A and B are shown apart, each in its own frame.
Chain A
Amino acid sequence: MSIQLNNVEFCYSKATQKNILSIDSWSTTVGDRQFIYGPSGCGKSTLLNIIGGILKPTTGTVSVLGESLDKMNSHQRNRFRANNIGYIFQQFNLINYLNAEENIQLAHHFSSRKKTTKVRDKIHYLLSDLNIKSDDWSRPVGMLSVGQQQRIAIARAFVNSPQLLIADEPTSALDEVSTNNFMSQLSTLCKEHHTTLLFVSHDTRLKHHFNHVHEFSQINSKKEQ
């Protein structure tokens, strides 16, 4: 099992007791490419943050890659996330004032992988693989196009060879051509690295890139109060 959720509930404020999430049981297996769709504001990002260990569930157990996240302290979860999970967001994927290489190095810096010179080769390989011209490697990413930035974000997510990749609406700022490019490159890399992909979007046209498709409301049995 790559991800296993049991009886997970989450609410932001304990005072209101208003649950955002309520999941009885949900799991994925290694190498799955999961697509979860649903309208914005329904709690998709909250689910991703719980699986990524950024948020702690109010109740229930979260097991990711065989580790119980709910039993870890915040330091352990930071470490775990840096080492095993790649992240791609809709925006603010990169630090504006750093260049592409530095942004990717930063992700490597926070992981416990050995700091070797080989990482530069890997970064260069990933960047060329994702069609980023070498001229653009040392320019501040703020000067690059959104499409380029999202592809650099893929490289950043893959530099630590994560076992799980979490993508939160990564294509919503892209046009159709860029989206197709992005999706095919993401899929290829996931296959190459045997990475489990957890992809969340409101755009159901992307369905065909995945082997598992869920509507978010099917997973979340949250009762409206």
Chain B
Amino acid sequence: MLIRLAIKSLIYRKASILLTIVTVSIGIFILLGVEHLRDQTKSSFTNSVSGVDLIVGTRTSSLNLLLYSVFRIGDPTNNISWQSYQNLSQHNTVDWAVPISLGDSHQGYRVIGTTPSYFDFFRHGNQQQLHFRHGRKFESVFDLVLGASVANKLGYKIGDRVVLSHGIGHTSFIKHDKLPFNVIGILKATGTPVDHTLHVSLQGLEAVHMTNPLAIKRLAKTPELALTQATYLKPKSITAIMIGLKSKMAVFNFQRTINTNKNEPLSAILPGVALSQLWQTMSVFDNALGLITLFIIISSLLGLSATLLSSLKEREPEIKLLRTIGASSGFIFLLVEFEAMLIALLSALIAIIGLNLTLSVAQEYILSNYGITIASHFTSTSHSQIIIGLFLLTFIAAIPPALKGAKKCHV
């Protein structure tokens, strides 16, 4: 009877109730949306690299090494020698080692020099490999593989010629325009910094940095020069090394071995640990965002409370009648509370459906523009705690009107 009474009474007052439902569902939409986005951004962020046991660079802080090697943010403080790379890659606990070289850019996008095995060993997300949308990995010195966003934004396709700039930044005065690169592959979007990167061979980078004009001229005549024939373009130094170990158990031992290397000042970091450290430093903004959404939901629930409170005046005869025919004040209290809960339930449903629709539409846009992978399926089960908290808040917000209703025509 309570349920039927509450539902019919809400339908009877549908104009003001609908408005309240809209207000509350916008609040819930923002709360769940931001929560989902925070969640997904965090996992997208912490999943930018996986399957790499150690990243080795010159002696620097772990955060700095992580930022420039994985996120292409900031500048490497120093390079490490090719000799160190060779020593490490031949170490008996090392399964694979991929060198990377940074320092050049193309229209603001960073260029990374590496070996073809980068595309085999690099993992992101849940041990996901890099996949090619078009083309293949590089085989010749001047081959170029584009990240998804780079190809999208700059409109490049297979076969296009691309000139690299020296240094990083949108405008560079030194262009390696004598030796253009040839787009040979385009990667699928990953939602990681890989999407914003241009990949070339180490030998290619070595070639464009040559100062001897004769050698450059000679190379310009052989744009199809295969990597195997370019042994003379062996790099002298690289920026960092990504290392996979044969046994994960050896990771701390091996890290210590590298950090205490006597030949060259090196530091090795565990990407997972460094990533979570980095995320910690951003928790202030994360918490601020959470606080803002909390205030939004509280204000919309206060609106609900106000609507119910003001409706009590017009409902006075109804409450008086209910009390006269035997309803207890507890019944009136529950009636008002139940109405509030129904409003919250309807609003939550609308918000969840709306959010799912919005996410499925916005997913592509967010990935291509912000490089964040967002799961389009938002399920209430993954956020059940929020929903439960929401109903608790609704209950609390409805206490003043419910009490006032119960106290009306007190007996």
Q: Is the CB of A156 within 8 A of B325?
A: yes
Contacts of A102 in B (CB 8 A): 4, 8
A106-B411 contact given A82-B326, A92-B320, A93-B321, CB 8 Å threshold: no
A140 to chain B: closest CB distance in Å?
A: 8
For the complex, is B409 an interface residue (Cβ under 8 Å from A)? Answer: yes
A74 to B409, CA, bound (A): 12
For the complex, is B324 an interface residue (Cβ under 8 Å from A)? Answer: yes
Q: Is the CB of B12 within 8 A of A96?
A: yes
A82-B323 contact given A77-B411, A95-B318, A97-B9, CB 8 Å threshold: no
For the complex, is B328 an interface residue (Cβ under 8 Å from A)? Answer: yes
Q: Is the CB of A87 within 8 A of B325?
A: yes
Mask of A64-87 contacts with B, CB within 8 angstroms, 1/0? 000000000011011101110001
Q: Is the CB of B317 within 8 A of A92?
A: yes
Smallest CB gap from A55: residue in B: B411
Number of A-B residue pairs having CB atoms within 8 Å of each other in the complex: 65
Instruction: Tell which of B8, B323, B411 touches A98, judged by Cβ atoms closer than 8 Å.
Output: B8
Q: Is the CB of A107 within 8 A of B9?
A: no
For the complex, is A111 an interface residue (Cβ under 8 Å from B)? Answer: yes
Smallest CB gap from B328: residue in A: A78
Contacts of A87 in B (CB 8 A): 324-325
Instruction: Tell which of B320, B322, B325, B411 touches A53, judged by Cβ atoms closer than 8 Å.
Output: B411
A158 to B321, CA, bound (A): 16
A38 to chain B: closest CB distance in Å?
A: 21
Q: Is the CB of A110 within 8 A of B411?
A: no
Interface of B is mostly: helix
A106 to B327, CA, bound (A): 9
Q: Is the CB of A54 within 8 A of B5?
A: no
A10 to chain B: closest CB distance in Å?
A: 14
Smallest CB gap from A157: residue in B: B325
For the complex, is B19 an interface residue (Cβ under 8 Å from A)? Answer: no
For the complex, is B11 an interface residue (Cβ under 8 Å from A)? Answer: yes
A21 to chain B: closest CB distance in Å?
A: 17
For the complex, is B282 an interface residue (Cβ under 8 Å from A)? Answer: no
Instruction: Tell which of B5, B11, B411 touches A74, judged by Cβ atoms closer than 8 Å.
Output: B411
For the complex, is B214 an interface residue (Cβ under 8 Å from A)? Answer: no
B118 to chain A: closest CB distance in Å?
A: 69
For the complex, is B1 an interface residue (Cβ under 8 Å from A)? Answer: yes
Q: Is the CB of B321 within 8 A of A95?
A: yes
Mask of A47-67 contacts with B, CB within 8 angstroms, 1/0? 000001111100000000000
Contacts of A110 in B (CB 8 A): 325-327, 331
For the complex, is A105 an interface residue (Cβ under 8 Å from B)? Answer: yes
A81-B5 contact given A54-B411, A92-B318, A97-B11, CB 8 Å threshold: no
For the complex, is A109 an interface residue (Cβ under 8 Å from B)? Answer: yes
B331 to chain A: closest CB distance in Å?
A: 8
Instruction: Tell which of B4, B12, B324, B328 touches A54, judged by Cβ atoms closer than 8 Å.
Output: B324
Mask of A92-126 contacts with B, CB within 8 angstroms, 1/0? 11111110001001110111000000000000000
A98 to B318, CA, bound (A): 11
Instruction: Tell which of B8, B322, B325, B328 touches A97, judged by Cβ atoms closer than 8 Å.
Output: B8
Contacts of A156 in B (CB 8 A): 325
A81-B318 contact given A54-B411, A74-B411, A97-B8, CB 8 Å threshold: no
Q: A81-B325, A106-B1 are in contact. List 18 more A-B contacts (CB 8 A).
A: A53-B411, A55-B411, A74-B328, A74-B411, A78-B326, A78-B328, A87-B324, A93-B321, A95-B5, A102-B8, A105-B1, A106-B5, A106-B325, A107-B326, A109-B1, A110-B325, A110-B326, A111-B326
- The chain B residues found within 8 Å of chain A, CB to CB, are 1, 4-5, 8-9, 11-12, 317-318, 320-329, 331, 409-411
Closest 9 CB pairs of A and B: A82-B326, A110-B326, A97-B12, A92-B317, A109-B1, A107-B325, A74-B411, A97-B8, A78-B328
13 sample A-B contacts, Cβ–Cβ < 8 Å, listed by A number: A78-B326, A78-B328, A82-B326, A83-B326, A87-B324, A92-B317, A92-B318, A92-B320, A95-B318, A96-B318, A97-B11, A106-B5, A109-B1
